[in-house]
A and B are shown apart, each in its own frame.
Chain A
Amino acid sequence: AQKVTQAQTEISVVEKEDVTLDCVYETRDTTYYLFWYKQPPSGELVFLIRRNSFDEQNEISGRYSWNFQKSTSSFNFTITASQVVDSAVYFCALSEKYSGNTPLVFGKGTRLSVIA
């Protein structure tokens, strides 16, 4: 069975604060992909990052960084110096196997509000 848990339902921070969004996953596969998507009020899911199970290197992209730890089955997302434009719902997702176009299993999302 595959499952993604985002325990934080809502987070509110003041602009310029750092914030970490937690993601814990369950899968029986040894090869899999993890994703983060951002959903602004418009509804569209915006792809942020994909990480495969063999690559535990942390990644940084501007103010965004991701910490992947297989030992704890976690794939956490940190926004540094948050901005009001970061306000959105963020989803962590899992895709088992390496086959192309395997469906994604999403967590319930974390709603981030950044207050000016």
Chain B
Amino acid sequence: DAGVTQSPTHLIKTRGQQVTLRCSPKSGHDTVSWYQQALGQGPQFIFQYYEEEERQRGNFPDRFSGHQFPNYSSELNVNALLLGDSALYLCASSLRQGSSYNSPLHFGNGTRLTVT
């Protein structure tokens, strides 16, 4: 049973560039959430996708955007990269299906983005 997979593992970009990170959810899951974890900090919620739509969003600028595909996989796009965007980006999946409780999130290993 494959867990949450993310690609690439590491990425180095220059300020001003754009980046796309990818995530495949755990088998059977239909919801994908993205979190940003700066060095020495806890993860911060970016946004969540379900049924190919952004359902919830944290306090992140519009430079951060995403997409969910019919197979439930997801992409996170960041435009006009800043040095402060350097972080570990974690993807998490869960099962929504009208569930009335929080199903535990299953996290991937993350993509470490370095902006120089």
Chain A positions near chain B (C-beta within 8 angstroms): 4, 33, 35, 37, 42-47, 50, 52, 91, 93, 95, 98-109
Q: How far is the CA of A27 from the CA of B64 in the complex (A)?
A: 27
B102 and A45 form a contact (CB under 8 A): no
Q: Which partner residue on chain B sits nearest A45 by CB separation?
A: B107
Report how many residues on chain B are interfacial, defined by Cβ distance under 8 Å: 32
Contact (A50, B42) CB under 8 Å given A44-B107, A103-B33, A103-B56: no
**Does B78 lie at the interface of the complex (its beta carbon under 8 Å from any beta carbon of A)?**
no
A101 and B109 form a contact (CB under 8 A): no
Residues of B within 8 A of A102 (CB): 56, 102
Residues of B within 8 A of A101 (CB): 31, 33, 48, 50, 55-56, 94, 96, 99, 102-103
9 nearest A-B pairs in the assembled complex, by CB-CB distance: A106-B42, A45-B107, A103-B45, A100-B99, A43-B110, A44-B109, A47-B104, A43-B109, A108-B42
